[in-house]
Amino acid sequence: MTLNPQKPQNPQNPQSSELDVAADLLKLLADTATEPRPDDQLAALTLAVAADLPVLLWGEPGIGKTAALTQLAEALDLPLTTVIASVHEPSDFAGLPVVGDDPAVQGVPMAPPDWAVRLVRAGKGLLFLDELSTAPPAVQAALLRVVLERRIGALRLPDGIRIVAAVNPRASAADGWELSAPLANRFVHLLWAHDQEVVVRGLGGVWPRATLPRLDPALLTDAVAHARRAVCGLLTARASLVHRLPTTETKRGGAWPSPRSWEMTVRLIAFATASGASREVLSLLVRGTVGDGPGFELLASMDRMDLPDPELLLAAPESAELPDRGDLRQAVLDSVVAAVRARPDRARWDAAWALLVRALETGAPDLVVVPATTLATLRRTDWDVPAAIEQLAGVVTVSRDADRAAPRVAAQAKAGR
């Protein structure tokens, strides 16, 4: 009885059976599975792909950018076409001139490369532009039309094609260049970092599953209105954010605000709203489109868009629903005090005190200190002190005592060193 049966060797090539076994082992190593798993950066990537916006992944070499794109293409059932930008000439993207029978009459058509023709024939696919930071400026200029107009020579890529690029920071790129400002402003920039749990589980054979966001048809109209109101509201108040070209070459190669990138932001907010994306995913996308500063301002203004109307709170303070987040609750209480200051009367002043009691009962006590102190200064001489003040007096007193004691404690600690 043979305990270790082996495949018959080819007498012409005695090593062929060993290569067959090696191939079997490689197949087993490549056999991996996927599972649904929360992953903010993967969710941001798939949402931007669904929104049909070009995405640029930033990450150190070996971080898994190419592997993520390969897995994304497989999960979305899209053929993947990889183009290494740094090994191409500008004519590879602008098109190669082909002289016909009568150039004076027919002109000289610009023939596209074979990979572009294959994408058009497929009708859908994922175009992956790798190593973008090692492409010289002339090649980056030729890529502008590919990314924005989706034209390669005389050929236009169909709507089913999505574009994703990858770039290494200049410090870790071989002969790297900074991205030109016009090219950088056409992308949604996502920082690609490794997650230790994802890597460990993936090396064990199970990677996160990439899925396109599920859009709720009932929310589409409201999502568009919400996105436009959010962006237009911010830019109306902050005109300087409409277009702000960074002053350094490095920052110009990243995300920065322009009419083009704000238009992309509107689209991303609409898709995130219609799909119920998390705040973390929306933050990655917004900051990756207009930059960190403008992005954080937009997110903060969006938080305040959904705050309750102070007049409705004054009308029914005992049943008011206040935000759980401390900064939003503070903003609501401040807006109520401001509303009383703008139109002061006894009933509104009493209602504001009742609302502060409600806030004291349902949240952190320190959040009512400043609004209570300010509201007390609005009292008219003929207004009686409401009973609600008694419930708040202790909190305000403790806060003031703590403020007075803080310098003394600090001085004592310094003297004891």
Determine the pLDDT at residue 266: 98
pLDDT, tens digit, for every residue of 104-153?
666 677 778 888 888 889 889 999 998 888 888 888 888 888 898 888 88
Orientation angle between helical segments 326-342 and 346-362, nearest 10 degrees: 170
Q: For the chain, what is the radius of gyration of the CA atoms?
A: 30
Q: Nearest 10 degrees: CA dihedral of 263, 264, 265, 271?
A: 120
Of 183, 165, 166, give the one whose Cα is nearest residue 252. 183
How many Å separate Cα 251 from the centre of its chain?
A: 18
Q: What would the CATH number be for the domain defined by 32-208?
A: 3.40.50.300
CA distances from 258 to 74, 287, 293 (A): 34, 13, 13
Of 145, 167, 170, 141, give the one whose Cα is nearest residue 155. 145
Q: Copy the structure tokens of residue 247.
A: 């002053």
Q: CA-to-CA distance for 154 and 152, rounded, in angstroms?
A: 6
Of 195, 204, 211, 205, give the one whose Cα is nearest residue 33. 205
Listed by start position, the domains of the chain span 32-208, 217-305, 310-415
Determine the pLDDT at residue 225: 95
**Which residues lie across from 82 on neighbouring strands?**
128
Determine the pLDDT at residue 406: 40
Q: Nearest 10 degrees: CA dihedral of 278, 281, 286, 289?
A: -160
Of 140, 164, 204, give the one whose Cα is nearest residue 59. 164
Determine the pLDDT at residue 111: 78
Regions of the chain with pLDDT less than 50: 1-3, 398-406, 408-410, 412-413
Determine the pLDDT at residue 93: 84
pLDDT, tens digit, for every residue of 170-200?
665 556 678 889 999 999 999 988 888 888 8
What pairing do the DSSP bridges indicate for beta strands 110-111 and 96-97? antiparallel
Q: What are phi and psi of 384, to 5 degrees?
A: -70, 150
**Side chain identity, residue 109:** P
Orientation angle between helical segments 346-362 and 369-376, nearest 10 degrees: 160
Determine the pLDDT at residue 112: 83
Determine the pLDDT at residue 416: 54
Q: CA-to-CA distance for 416 and 91, rounded, in angstroms?
A: 73
How many CB atoms sit inside 10 A of residue 158's CB? 14
Of 164, 147, 194, 159, give the one whose Cα is nearest residue 72. 164
Q: What are phi and psi of 33, to 5 degrees?
A: -120, 170
Determine the pLDDT at residue 202: 84
- Mean pLDDT value across the chain: 84
Of 327, 399, 403, 394, give the one whose Cα is nearest residue 363. 327
How many Å separate Cα 181 from the centre of its chain?
A: 20
Residue pair 313/319 in contact (Cβ under 8 Å)? The answer is no
The residue ranges of DSSP E strands in 20-167, in sequence order, are 33-35, 55-58, 80-84, 96-97, 110-111, 124-130, 151-152, 155-156, 160-167
Of 195, 156, 147, give the one whose Cα is nearest residue 38. 195
Q: What are phi and psi of 189, to 5 degrees?
A: -90, 125
CA angle 101, 104, 109 (to 5 degrees): 65
Q: What are phi and psi of 323, to 5 degrees?
A: -60, 150
Determine the pLDDT at residue 405: 37
Determine the pLDDT at residue 399: 42
